[in-house]
Amino acid sequence: MNRIIAAIVLGLLPLATLGAGGGVTPMSANNNLEDNTSLQRGAKVFVNFCMGCHSMGYMRYSRMADDIGLERDLVAQHLMFTTEKIGDPMKIAMRVDDASGWFGVAPPDLSVIARARGVDWLYTYLTTFYADPDPARPFGVNNVMFPDVGMPHVLWPLQGVQSYIKAERPANTVSEQVVRIESDESGFALSTSVTTKDGETAHVTDRLEVTVPGSMTPAEYRKTVRDLVNFLDYAGEPVKLLRFQIGFWALLLLAVFAVAARLLYKEYWRDVH
C-alpha cells in the first residue's frame, strides 16, 4: 500500500515543479470550453486582431465553423479576410522574413500556443501590456509576463493604455521581481518582491491602471480576453471538446459495470463458505 501511495506522489511531483519557476504566477484564465458563444466571440477577436500577424495553420475555417457552431456561410462572409475557400487552413499572407525585419522576431503560428504556454499564461500576457516610454521599446509598450516582448499591444483600442504605477520602495533596491498578479475593479495589483543592496527582501504592491481609456471597461476587457484564450485553448486541441463528452460516458459505463461486477461476484460466492 505504501508503495502505491509513493508511486502516486512521485507521479504527481512533475506537475508541482511545472507550476513553479518563471517568477510570476499568472492569473487564472477560468475559461470554459463548453461555452460556444464564448468560443465564437473569441474567434471573432482572433480573426480581427491577431491574424494580421499570426497564422493558425493547423486549423481550417470549415472545421472551426462546425466545431463552435457557426454557419459556414457567415464565417465565409465575416471572418475570412485572407482566403476564399472555407476548407482552407487559417494562414496569413505575411512572409516570415518580412515579419522578422519588422518586429525583430517573426510572430509565431498560434495553433498550439495554448498547449505550449498554458491558458493562464496567455490570459495574463494579453491583459498586462503597459506603456513603457523607454526609447529602446519599439512600440512604446512592455509586458509583465513577457518582458521586452516584440509584439505591440494590438488590443489597446479595447483595453486602452495601462500605466505601471510603482509603489514606494527602499532607496537602495537593486533587483525586483513580480511574484503575483491579481485583478480588481480598476486594474491589476502586482505583488513584487524587491531586494536591497544589503541583501534584504521586502514586498511592495505596484499597480497597472488604465490611464488612456479604450472602448471597454477593465472588466469587459478581461472577459474579452477570456473568450480569446478560450478560443486558443480550443484551437490547440479541437478534440478536447469531444474528449470531455466521451470521457463522461466512459466513466459512467465503468461505474455501471462496477456495480454489475460486484453483484455478480456476490452471486458466485454466495454458497461458498
Q: What is the largest CA-CA distance in the chain?
A: 87
Quick check: 150 binds ligand HEC (CB under 6 A)? yes
Whole-angstrom CA distances from 14 to 1, 10, 17, 179 are 22, 8, 5, 21
* Nearest CB to ligand HEC, comparing residues 50 and 90: 50
What residue type is assigned to position 251 of the chain?
L
Question: Which residue stretch of 148-156, 191-199, 207-215, 239-247 sits at the interface with ligand HEC (rule: CB under 6 A)?
Answer: 148-156
Q: How far is the CB of 23 from ligand HEC (least distance, A)?
A: 16
* Nearest CB to ligand HEC, comparing residues 53 and 208: 53
Residue 218: other Cβ atoms inside 10 A: 22
Q: Is 33 left (phi over 0), alpha (psi -120 to 50) or beta?
A: alpha
Residue 69: other Cβ atoms inside 10 A: 10
Q: Of residues 149, 181, 190, 208, which one binds ligand HEC by CB under 6 A?
A: 149
Pick out residues in 40-79 that bind ligand HEC (CB under 6 A). 49-50, 52-54
The x, y and z cell numbers of residue 206, run together, are 505596484
Pick out residues in 86-115 that bind ligand HEC (CB under 6 A). 103, 105, 107-108, 110, 113
Quick check: 153 binds ligand HEC (CB under 6 A)? no
Pick out residues in 203-262 that bind ligand HEC (CB under 6 A). 228
Q: How far apart are CA 130 and CA 163, in angstroms?
A: 5
* Nearest CB to ligand HEC, comparing residues 117 and 222: 117
* Nearest CB to ligand HEC, comparing residues 61 and 123: 123
Count of chain residues binding ligand HEC (CB under 6 A): 22
The x, y and z cell numbers of residue 86, run together, are 472555407
* Nearest CB to ligand HEC, comparing residues 64 and 110: 110
Q: How far is the CB of 1 from ligand HEC (least distance, A)?
A: 43
* Nearest CB to ligand HEC, comparing residues 151 and 178: 151
Q: How far is the CB of 183 from ligand HEC (least distance, A)?
A: 18
Q: How far apart are CA 132 and CA 134, in angstroms?
A: 6
Residue 114: other Cβ atoms inside 10 A: 23
Residue with cell 531586494: 195
CA 159 from centre of chain? 17
Whether 62 contacts 86, CB under 8 Å: yes
Q: How far is the CB of 228 from ligand HEC (least distance, A)?
A: 6
The x, y and z cell numbers of residue 224, run together, are 474579452
Q: How far apart are CA 195 and CA 105, in angstroms?
A: 32
Q: How far is the CB of 69 from ligand HEC (least distance, A)?
A: 21
* Nearest CB to ligand HEC, comparing residues 120 and 194: 120
* Nearest CB to ligand HEC, comparing residues 210 and 225: 225
Whole-angstrom CA distances from 263 to 3, 158, 258, 260 are 30, 60, 9, 5
Which stretches of the chain bind ligand HEC, using CB under 6 A?
A: 49-50, 52-54, 103, 105, 107-108, 110, 113, 117, 122, 125-126, 149-152, 154-155, 228
